[in-house]
Every structure is written in C-alpha cells, then in structure tokens.
C-alpha cells in the first residue's frame, strides 16, 4: 500500500457528471436558494472520515445515497457553504476502502439516478509488493501524485479541474503550520493533519480538505470565512487553528497549477447536466 501518498490524501478530481453522462462545459449560473448547485462526493473514508467529530459531522444536511449516515468532508463542505451563504445541495456516495473502479462497477446506477452539477471524488492508491516508496520524501511522493492527476485530467474531457488537497497538506507541513512527522507527537504551535490511526485526516486535516474544495467550487477565498467559522469550531479547533487552515487553503488555491486549478477569484466553471 502506498501509505505515504495516502497520508497526504490524493488530490480530488472534480468532474462533470449527469444521468446521461454528457459533458457540457456551459458555465452554471450563480446558485440561488431556488436553484442551488448540486454537488456529489464519491469516494471512501478519505472523504467520510475515520472517527468523530468528522465521521458523522452535519450528516443531517448531506443526502447519503447509501444510507450510511456519514457526514465527513461533505458535511464540513456543506457547513462552510452555509456559513458563506452559498446555496448548495450536497450528496455523498461513500464506501470505506473502495476505489473509483468499484463505484463505476457497483454504484453506477445509483450515481446516475439523478443529475449533478459537480462531482468530487477521492480514490484509493495501492502499490504492488516491492513498490519503491520507502525512504522517499513527502515532496517526491506528492509530486508524483500531482503529475498523475494532471495527466488524468489531460486525458479526460469531462474533468473540470483537480483540487489540490494533497498539495495543500504538503504546504501546511512545509510552512510549519502542520507537524511533519506523525510518529513523534505534535510540536508546540502546530496542528496535526492526521487522526489517531496515522492514516486518515483528523479534524484539522479534514477541515483543510473541505476548505480547499469549498474555495475552488464556490469561488470564495477560504480566508474570508474568519476565525469564528462555525464548521471549524464544531470540529473542536481553536481560532488560531481555524485561521491557519484557512490561510494554507487560500495560499494553495492562489498558486498556479498545471492541473486545471484556478484561484478562487476565477474558479473552474462547473458544468450543466
């Protein structure tokens, strides 16, 4: 298993998806209370989270197509949107430990049962026995993931952009905002990206993940949410931790990328089903 890359959480591919599987890149009008944007999250535990407070967070505000009761990152995203006054209907189709291929094979009819404006997904990455990750830096591993997702986007016409969640996590460590070594405790003044299993994101990492997704899809600067943001407080984060995560997400989204990501002031347009 490519554990190191999973620590960083794979970048999320954001694609257009509709019941007819058509690719229409016509920009959507701004969401309104009468016509909110419909966002579907497809993936695994990298989206639904590992333990509370993330696992079931805001589940009542997320339509769980599988009826599993998960809130997770989709729930945090929904709260961020509500906090910012952005009208979205959020749904999820999440199964622990599964790859995108599983969802394509086993959940296709469920996903296609209704139209969506935007589809965000997280995949599971494994390596064959004898893989070469051991001993490499986080930077080297994330660079390979980044390049792979950029290549996937270049080949698939229905992908609107790649959300740099893994890049943001690496930035947090490089800037000294998040602790780099998950095995030796958390240094004073830093936050931990990971949950107690040293594998999934914890509260702060999941909040950062949701901020990146929100900033890109909503076209809002995550830093504009402020230190008293409800989603962050609900997850048990301090004002300093909330501001730090918002700052990392904001800086990451304003960094030019080769994967189709645009800064919050000019977001990648969702597509009409």
Regarding predicted confidence, which is higher, 116 or 259? Answer: 116
Among candidate residues 111, 248, 246, the one with its CA nearest the CA of residue 173: 248
Say if 273 falls within a structural domain.
no
Q: How many CB atoms lie within 10 A of CB 91?
A: 20
What are 128-151's pLDDT values in tens digits? 566 666 667 888 888 888 888 888
Strands 118-121 and 37-43: parallel
Say if 230 falls within a structural domain.
yes
As to burial, measured by CB atoms within 10 angstroms (0-12 exposed, 13-18 middle, 19+ buried), residue 135 is exposed
As to burial, measured by CB atoms within 10 angstroms (0-12 exposed, 13-18 middle, 19+ buried), residue 240 is exposed
pTM of the prediction? 0.84
Task: Return the pLDDT at 8.
Answer: 45
Q: How many domains does the chain have?
A: 1
DSSP one-letter code for 26: P
Strands 63-64 and 12-15: unpaired
Quick check: 23 pLDDT over 80? Answer: no
Is the distance from CB of 126 to CB of 2 less than 8 angstroms? yes
Helices 203-218, 165-174: axis angle to 10 degrees equals: 120
What are 27-50's pLDDT values in tens digits? 556 676 677 888 999 988 889 999
Say if 207 falls within a structural domain.
yes
Range of the domain at 74: 3-253
Alpha-carbon distance 71 to 57, whole Å? 5
Say if 52 falls within a structural domain.
yes
């Amino acid at each position: 298993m490519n554990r190191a890359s999973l620590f960083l959480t794979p970048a999320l591919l954001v694609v257009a998806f509709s019941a007819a599987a058509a690719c229409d890149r016509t920009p959507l009008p701004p969401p309104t209370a009468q016509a909110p944007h419909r966002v579907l999250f497809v993936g695994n535990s990298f989206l639904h989270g590992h333990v509370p407070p993330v696992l079931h967070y805001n589940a009542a505000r997320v339509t769980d197509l599988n009826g599993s009761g998960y809130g997770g990152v989709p729930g945090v995203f929904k709260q961020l949107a509500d906090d910012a006054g952005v009208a979205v209907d959020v749904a999820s189709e999440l199964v622990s430990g599964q790859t995108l291929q599983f969802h394509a094979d086993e959940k296709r009819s469920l996903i296609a049962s209704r139209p969506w404006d935007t589809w965000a997904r997280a995949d599971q990455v494994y390596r064959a026995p004898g893989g070469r990750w051991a001993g490499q830096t986080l930077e080297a591993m994330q660079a390979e993931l980044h390049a792979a997702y950029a290549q996937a986007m270049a080949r698939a016409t229905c992908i609107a952009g790649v959300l740099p969640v893994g890049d943001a996590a690496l930035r947090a460590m490089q800037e000294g905002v998040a602790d780099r070594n998950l095995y030796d405790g958390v240094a004073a003044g830093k936050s931990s990206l990971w949950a107690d299993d040293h594998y999934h994101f914890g509260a702060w990492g999941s909040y950062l993940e949701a901020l990146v997704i929100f900033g890109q899809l909503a076209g809002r600067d995550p830093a504009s949410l402020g230190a008293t943001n409800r989603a962050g407080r609900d997850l048990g984060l301090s004002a300093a931790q909330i501001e730090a995560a918002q700052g990392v997400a904001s800086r990451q989204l304003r960094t030019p990328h080769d994967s189709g990501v645009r800064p919050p002031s000019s977001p990648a347009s969702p597509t009409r089903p």
